[in-house]
Amino acid sequence: MSKGVMRPGHIQIRVMDMDEAVCHYRDRMGLIETDRDASGRVYLKGWTEIDAYSVVLRQADEPGMDFMGFKVVSTEVMNQLKQELIEFGCQVEVIPAGELNDCGERVRFDSPTGHMFELYAEKKQTGKWGIHPKNPDAWPEELKGMRAQRFDHCLLYGDDLDGALDLFCKVLGFQLSEEVVDGELRVAQFISCSMKAHDLAWVRHPEKGKLHHASFYLETWGDVLRAADLISMHDMSLDIGPTRHGLTHGQTIYFFDPSGNRSEVFCGGDYTYPDHPVVTWDADQLGKAIFYHDRVLNERFLSVVT
Ligand code: M3P
Ligand code: FE
């Protein structure tokens, strides 16, 4: 049951060439560039998002994810959850307000899978981009590229999936919506803090702390096909798709940013209420679970992570 964690609020992604990365996320995916900071980080958002930004790009020597942040309903809830994270055994660090532009204090914690996460309650609300909040039109005409609507979820690779599931479900109030099992072993888990089929997911992998993809929501299957056209038009690195997932049933396409981080844009997908039973896939059906049409696994999709 909800403990006040509302949604994935931001992801900080490491990129090796900032200009190329801005072209990928802003001009190709259609995120809106909203800010830059003194350390050179670039801030972007999907046009439907209320808060000032959801993607922060940081120039680094290696690709990957620095952290993913979740917005909680209040500072009181954040501080209560901070205590519970400490009691669970997480390494917890408080990042002062303003370290990210226009963001309040953040509670950073580690997961048993080696990933860094954050909770925060305050971020400047700038409203949907290009749309007046009163009598709003359907969409702004100035959108570029794939017209990504919002940052939706991450799929991460790591080792201690059971520890991460305990942390997110018992401490943070997420629920397990879908899983892939190989006998007794859960090899993939999809968890939700909302009505979405997943806000976060993991695949079991021997190495800690890896990013499989950051995913962004599009409105329609037509938009996913249009994203595929743009990928070819700009000779971008395609991974797989357009296709449908068996797991969560979203319609999807995957491709890489110029640093090798995988991006997903998708539409549709199942929904989850607190009384929904967990949807289980058997590992011997993994082909269909991941790519519902091809029903065959793609080695690159399973092994390339940053
Ligand atoms: C998704 C999604 C696996 C599944 C990926 C599914 C096992 O990215 O958004 O539903 O890689
Ligand atoms: Fe995904």
Q: Judging by DSSP bridges, how do beta strands 5-15 and 64-72 pair with one another?
A: antiparallel
Runs of H (alpha helix) within 235-293: 286-290
Runs of H (alpha helix) within the chain: 18-22, 75-88, 161-166, 221-233, 286-290, 299-303
- The reply to whether 153 belongs to the active site is yes
Q: Is the pTM of this model over 0.85?
A: yes
CB 115 within 8 A of CB 10: no
Cβ neighbours, 10 Å, residue 203:
19
In the beta sheet, which residues pair with residue 37?
none
Cβ neighbours, 10 Å, residue 89:
12
CA of 98 to the centre of ligand 2 (A): 30
pLDDT digits (tens, 9 = 90+) for 104-145: 999 999 999 999 999 999 999 999 999 999 999 999 999 999
Cβ neighbours, 10 Å, residue 157:
25
Q: How far apart are CA 87 and CA 252, in angstroms?
A: 39
In the beta sheet, which residues pair with residue 240?
254
State yes or no: pLDDT of 69 exceeds 90: yes
Starting at the edge strand found earlier in the chain, the sheet holding 55-59 runs 32-36, 42-45, 55-59, 5-15, 64-72, 116-120, 106-110, 92-95
pLDDT digits (tens, 9 = 90+) for 15-61: 999 999 999 999 999 999 999 999 999 999 999 999 999 999 999 99
- The reply to whether 254 belongs to the active site is yes
Mutate to test the pocket of ligand 1, among 180, 245, 282 (most ligand atoms within 8 A of CB): 245
pLDDT digits (tens, 9 = 90+) for 222-261: 999 999 999 999 999 999 999 999 989 999 999 999 999 9
- Residue 259: CB within 6 Å of ligand 1? no
